[in-house]
Structure 1
Amino acid sequence: MTVFHFTGIKGSGMSSLAQILHDAGNQVQGSDIDKHFFTEDPLRKRGIKISTFNASNIQEGMTVIAGNAFKDDHEELIRANEIGVEVIRYHIFLGNLMNQYTSIGITGSHGKTSTTGLMSHVLSGYAPTSYLIGDGTGHGESQAEFFAFEACEYRRHFLAYHPDYMIMTNIDFDHPDYFTGIEDVVSAFQSMALQVNKAIIACGDDEHLQKIRANVPVVFYGFGSNNDFEARNLMKTTSGSTFDVFIRNEFYRTFEIPFFGDHAVLNALAVISLCNYEGIPADVIQQQLLSFNGVKRRFTESKKGDRILIDDYAHHPTEIKATIQSTRQKYPNREIIAIFQPHTFSRTRTFLSDFAESLEGADFVYLCDIFGSARENAGELTIQDLSDLIDDCVILKTEEIDVLLKHENAVYLFMGAGDVQKFQAAFESKI
């Protein structure tokens, strides 16, 4: 039996793919740095061996799956090349794997992980489904009919895929260390659109997605009246949202979701649209929507006494606004405290004023030092530059975490794509 060795197994997509291959009966192992990441927990539960990087990990007869973060001069990849072991990049391997199923990719500048999680849960209520979610969750079914996966636009990695369907949630400018501007991002999505085999399900409320051209049907969903799948009569409560779905102006069904914010309604509508297109009964869709528990680090709540703590991956101004909006819907009478750690200097520099504007939606803001990337230069940018643009703002150090205690009956939003969880852990130890 071939042994699959993952170089960089703790990466979110890599961890998910390793779980899928393991669940399908393959022998899987991997390597990474000696630091704990939440993505390794499901690997250890499955008994998958994780080593530290070392050339000696690579043995003849293996297939090496290499994470996109590691260049060809990595010691393990050099060793594989020396002894004639096949090395396949993560996105190439995934692109080949999905050909065995009815494949459903979910892409977009925001909402990929949440929508992929919801899609895989709803599909699983109808037929065996394998899935790969960008929060480090993967699941393999040997008899799977569907394969739902998160498809990342960064460095155009998603162009390795030729799925049956592609959900496109939105197009926004992000990853300024790679994309030159919004036109470059639109170009990447347009290239992706030409590789889809059956249909594209796209948010018609997004002006960039309205212009997408494809060789397959493009089905639009959203709040606007020009969409094929339209959400009307939206009612928001502190327990979730209810809305009517109309398909080309004909009433389809009323749906209820236990999630918050406009973006959550759109994510659900994307899933409803795809499932309807595939002939999945409305009752199954509704039942699965109600039983979905969410994905990791997306509005993940915990309670400590009278305080509500929310962990969220929001790392772009659009996402911060959506997270604060969701919090206002669920907790309209509580003070909202944002604890935000910017992720990468290039993103912080590009969106400095946008970050400030989005964070103004909170009642008080604490900023953590910028979580830099090894592939970039900080220059002269510091967290003080962002702090100067925000009223009611304090720069937070883990050793000064006690300052958060002064807020009573509050909701604390810990947001960021770096290691903002260490601030939450420090705070929880003081409560």
Structure 2
Amino acid sequence: MLDKKKQIWFIGIKGTGMAALALILKDLGYNVAGSDIEKYTFTQVPLEKAGIEVKDFDPKNIKEGQIIVKGNAFKEDNPEVAACVEKDIQWQSYPDTVEEIVQSYTSIGVAGTHGKTSTTSLLAHVLGQVAPTSYLIGDGRGKGVADSRFFAYEADEYRRHFLAYHPDYQIMTNIDFDHPDYFKDQADYTSAFQTAAEQTKKGLFVWGDDPRLQSLNTAIPKYTYGFKDSDDFQATNIEKTTNGSSFNVIADGKDLGRFEIPLFGDHSILNATAVIAVAYTEKVPMEIVQKALPTFKGAKRRFSEKDFGNIAVIDDYAHHPTEMRATIQAARQKFPDKELVVVFQPHTYSRTKKYQKDFEEILRDVDKAYITPIYASARENSGDISSEDLTKNIPGSEVIDLANISDLTKHQNAAVVFMGAGDIPKYEDAYEKLLVK
């Protein structure tokens, strides 16, 4: 249990979820510090700005009287975890620590294979215009407000971590099979969401077009959102432009109003409709939601744009076929007159093999596709598939690495989209340096 009289020590504090949690607890008045690998990560900057000490892993960091929060990725081969075992010091997991916060406020979890970070970011932004709101977002952002009415958080399904949570409400965006390195099959994956639904207290909001979400059984109200007349919250009268999208939402037989978002693609409209549905259920005035949505600045690494003359560089976390299709649709909407160039980094060998045909089909539809070497994660560093296996079936595609990143500079009046969940920003950074020379 958390205790403001004790130091809370994070083993793996630079992880995106752990960093966000550390920031929340610091805001709430806890004594927070932690350790991680020496390598620089983007999560360091907000930790340092918040005055949170970050050290390298060292067994000497573990002391009696601390509350130890252990990151999900670390086992007993980590020197600090080993020190806990040796000294018989108990730790609590990242999910169990988040659950303590979940129980402190009106909590809304956002789960699903895709769209968690974008939807949580939008939800936190909108609710924050209504009342004090704490939030934890999977891109490393976290904020704690002691007198919060709401807590919006991203609920990660990997290894069933989100089953530690018992929120008041939960948004589920989709249940497309993922993480084949852990889940046995689609049925196993769906079963995790069924349990998460059962642990939700007041209301479940699900995308109406996902049959697996439709099949979830709950004792609480389950609301659907989408584009159909049959949905409880229906986005209708949709207008898409190069500046974003606007639409009306129908619920309970009445028009809740016209909403505008500076975002692109059908998935962004769906995410916004889910947020509107939660706000409506919590009796938030729709006028506040209408004013809040247009001021949303977006989520980190979710269709983030930089402009270099006639070149638009887009950074996106997409690494699953559904996410990739959504990102490409968004790029087509915003940049209808530009050449669409995609630089894709496959993420893990098991996922690449599972979705090879999907990746090939998607990338055949862009103007030019480049594929980087497959990102090898700590949990899976080898496999029997390569990037070259994909390019064989994508006409005109090429394998690209840092050595030939300059090949991208031949594309003018282009939208160059970097997609992946690994270390693809290094390729983007190298390309951007060539653009500013």
Do Structure 1 and Structure 2 share a fold, with TM-score over 0.5?
yes
Aligned partner (choices 87, 96, 102) of residue 100 of structure 2? 96
- 1:79 aligns with 83
Give, as a single letter, the amino acid of the residue that structure 2 aligns with 1:210. Answer: Q
User: 8 Å contact 1:321–1:361 — kept in the other structure?
Assistant: no
Confirm or deny: 8 A CA contact 2:349 2:384 kept in the other structure. no
Shift of 1:377: 5.1
Instruction: Give the match for residue 317 of structure 2.
Output: 313
**C-alpha distance in 2 between matches for 1:399 and 1:262:** 36
Contact preservation (8 Å) 1:60, 1:84: no
The answer to whether the 8 Å contact 1:165/1:196 transfers is: yes
**2:188 is matched by which residue type in structure 1?**
D
**1:286 maps to 2:287:** no
CA deviations on 1:20-43 (whole Å, 9 max, x unpaired) are: 001111111111111111122211
Matched residue, 2:376: 372
TM-score (structure 1 length as normaliser): 0.98
Q: Deviations over 1:9-59 (max 9, x none)?
A: 111100100000011111111111111111222111112111111111111
Percent pairwise identity = 49
Q: Please, which of 234, 251, 265 is the counterpart of residue 230 of structure 1?
A: 234
Equivalent position SS for 2:201: coil
2:6 corresponding residue in structure 1: 2
1:72 deviation in Å? 3.6
Structure 2 CA distance for aligned equivalents of residues 157 and 12 of structure 1: 14
- Does residue 326 of structure 2 align to residue 322 of structure 1? yes
Is 1:110 aligned to residue 114 of structure 2?
yes
1:14-53 mapped onto 2 (5 Å cutoff): 14-53=18-57
1:151 maps to what in 2?
155
Partners of 1:342 and 1:61 lie apart in 2 by 43
Q: Which residue does the alignment assign to 1:12?
A: 16
Mean alpha-carbon deviation: is it higher for 327-336 or for 45-54?
45-54
Moved more, 218-227 or 243-252: 243-252
1:309-350 CA-to-partner distances (Å, cap 9, x unmatched) read 011000101111100100100110000100011111110011
- Preserved contact between residue 350 and residue 383 of structure 2 (Cα < 8 Å): no
CA contact (8 A) 1:9 1:18 kept: yes
Superimposed CA distance per residue, residues 114-162 of structure 1 (whole angstroms, 9 cap, x where no aligned partner): 0000000101000001100000000011111111000011111111001
Residue identity opposite 1:321 in structure 2:
R
Q: Which stretch has the larger CA shift, 373-382 or 305-314?
A: 373-382
Read off the aligned partner of 1:408 and give its amino acid letter. Q
CA distance in 1, matches of 2:212, 2:395: 33
State the number of aligned residues.
Answer: 431
Return the alpha-carbon distance in structure 2 between the equivalents of residues 379 and 417 of structure 1. 18
The TM-score normalised by the length of structure 2 is 0.97
1:303 counterpart residue number: 307
Give me the whole-angstrom Cα distance separating, in 1, the residues matched to 2:366 and 2:39: 33
Per the TM alignment, residue 73 of structure 1 is displaced from its structure 2 partner at its CA by: 4.1
Q: How does 1:21-420 map to 2 (within 5 A)?
A: 21-376=25-380, 378-420=382-424
Cα offset for 1:84?
A: 4.1
Secondary structure, counterpart of 1:309 in structure 2: strand
| Helix, strand or coil at the partner of 1:337 | strand
C-alpha displacement of 1:98: 1.3
Alpha-carbon separation, structure 2, partners of 1:180 and 1:392: 35
CA distances 1:379-403 after superposition (whole Å, capped 9, x unpaired): 3311111111211201101121111
Q: Give me the whole-angstrom Cα distance separating, in 2, the residues matched to 1:249 and 1:229.
A: 10
SS of the residue corresponding to residue 81 of structure 2 reads helix
Alpha-carbon separation, structure 1, partners of 2:430 and 2:33: 33
Q: Secondary structure, in 3 states, of the residue corresponding to 2:183?
A: coil
CA deviations over 1:359-414 (Å, ceiling 9, x no partner): 22321001100001222252331111111121120110112111111111101101
* Range 102-111 or range 50-59, more displaced: 50-59
Using the TM superposition, name which of 389-398 and 83-92 deviates more. Answer: 83-92
Question: What is the rounded CA distance, in whole Å, between the counterparts of 1:136 and 1:199 in structure 2?
Answer: 27
Secondary structure at the aligned position of 1:38 is classed as coil
Structure 2 Cα separation of the partners of residues 49 and 410 of structure 1: 42
Which secondary structure state, in structure 1, belongs to the residue aligned with residue 92 of structure 2?
strand
CA displacement, residues 231-263 of structure 1 (integer Å, 9 cap, x when unaligned): 111110111111111103322211111100000
Structure 1 portions without partners, runs of 5+:
none
RMSD of aligned C-alpha atoms?
A: 1.1
Gaps of 5+ in 2: none
SS at match of 2:103: helix
Displacement of 1:74: 2.4
SS in structure 2 at match of 1:264:
helix
